[in-house]
């Protein structure tokens, strides 16, 4: 994997890819894996900034985490997809990427020099006993709960904006009492030692990223994961959102039956507060039409039918299933 390239050395023709930074984050890794190390990689300080970069055409694509196999949905992403303030109307989903997530416990190097390797027993390292504070992204706590309960029960936990930010904070500490949960790439970039590796509860821990683009951009090639009529057999995915009349009995059922009528299999349903009225929600439905039935017309027809039974509805994008027939 390559580190961030300098914009001054990058050709104007290269793809500009935004991701949730700082450098060394899992989003950075997903961006490189999805678009290659030759892309101009643009770390963003927040989910909002990554969305804004696409909306303003400051970036051609963005890699944004949507859900984790152990810890569920990333609510910040769903909140931005809900677009309550109508800031991101030109953003569409054009692909996905599944990243195997392996967490490590990172600490400062001894005497500014790297240790010989990961200790077989974490308790034998003197730095283990000196840890009084842990840093990581909120999603990571739930993914490493067994390890944390065993070794750091009662130790203060500090939420930060990303796992790589956690590594950065620990690298800058002077007292050596902090530790970060992040990946191996962050350890290398921030010159930290790995005190324990693969500390996630589930060895198959995986995060799914959405790949976003601006549907009105004239100079952006179509994402190579978007479905095309000529693809034939590959499976497709579609994400739609809608708000129903919460005072009308059966209104949600009326909306969901439309997907069945159009031969679309519902794979996930999530909801977030609408921001319009208390206890009113935006529903997100991810579905899979069959390879034979997928078309732009199908999506248009579903949206048209949803309009009759919902207060509002949106087609957020269609793309090829990265898992294929699995």
Q: Tens digits of per-residue pLDDT, 113-139?
A: 566 578 888 999 989 999 999 999 898
**Among 17-21, 80-84, 89-93, 251-255, where is mean pLDDT lowest?**
17-21
- What's the pLDDT tens digit per position in 252-271? 999 999 999 999 999 999 99
CA distance 163 to 136: 5
Structure token digits, residue 291: 């390879």
CA distance 5 to 203: 31
CATH architecture of 235-318: 2-Layer Sandwich (3.30)
* Cross-strand partners of 245: none
Assess whether the region 13-101+205-214 and the region 235-318 belong to the same CATH fold: no
What is the third-level CATH fold of 104-197?
Answer: D-Maltodextrin-Binding Protein; domain 2 (3.40.190)
- What's the pLDDT tens digit per position in 284-302? 999 998 766 677 788 899 9
Q: How confident is the model at residue 221 (pLDDT cuts 50, 70, 90)?
A: low
Residue bearing tokens 């060895």 = 203
Q: What is the mean pLDDT of residues 83-112?
A: 92
Q: What's the pLDDT score for residue 34? A: 92
**pTM (2 decimals)?**
0.81
Burial class (CB in 10 A: 0-12, 13-18, 19+), 304: exposed
* Neighbouring C-beta atoms of residue 28, cutoff 10 Å: 28
Structural domain boundaries of the chain? 13-101+205-214, 104-197, 235-318
Please state, for a pLDDT cut of 70, what percent of the chain lies above it. Answer: 87
Q: What's the pLDDT score for residue 23? A: 83
The superfamily CATH assigns to domain 13-101+205-214 is Periplasmic binding protein-like II (3.40.190.10)
């Amino acid at each position: 994997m390559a580190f961030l390239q300098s914009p001054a050395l990058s050709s104007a023709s290269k793809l500009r890819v935004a991701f949730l930074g700082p450098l060394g984050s899992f989003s950075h890794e997903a961006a490189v894996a999805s678009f290659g190390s030759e892309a101009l990689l643009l770390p963003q300080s927040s989910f909002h900034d990554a969305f804004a970069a696409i909306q303003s055409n400051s970036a051609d694509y963005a890699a944004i985490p949507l859900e984790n196999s152990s810890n569920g949905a990333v609510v910040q992403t769903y909140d931005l997809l809900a677009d309550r303030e109508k800031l991101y109307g030109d953003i569409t989903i054009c692909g996905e990427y599944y990243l195997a997530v392996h967490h490590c416990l990172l600490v400062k190097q001894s005497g500014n020099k790297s240790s010989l390797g990961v200790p077989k027993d974490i308790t034998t390292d003197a730095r283990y006993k000196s840890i009084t504070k842990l840093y990581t992204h909120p999603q990571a706590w739930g993914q490493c709960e067994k390890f944390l309960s065993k070794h750091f029960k009662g130790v203060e936990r500090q939420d930060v904006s990303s796992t790589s930010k956690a590594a950065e904070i620990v690298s800058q500490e002077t007292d050596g009492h902090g530790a970060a949960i992040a990946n191996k790439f962050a350890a290398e970039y921030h010159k930290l030692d790995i005190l324990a590796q693969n500390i996630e509860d589930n060895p198959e821990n995986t995060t799914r990223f959405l790949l976003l683009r601006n549907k009105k951009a004239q100079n952006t090639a179509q994402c190579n994961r978007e479905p095309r009529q000529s693809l034939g057999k590959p499976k497709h995915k579609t994400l739609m959102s809608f708000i129903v009349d919460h005072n009308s009995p059966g209104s949600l059922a009326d909306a969901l039956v439309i997907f069945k009528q159009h031969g679309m299999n519902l794979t996930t349903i999530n909801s977030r507060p609408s921001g319009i009225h208390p206890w009113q929600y935006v529903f997100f439905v991810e579905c899979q039409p069959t390879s034979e039935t997928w078309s732009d017309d199908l999506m248009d027809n579903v949206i048209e039918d949803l309009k009759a039974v919902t207060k509002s509805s949106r087609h957020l994008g269609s793309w090829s299933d990265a898992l294929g027939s699995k």
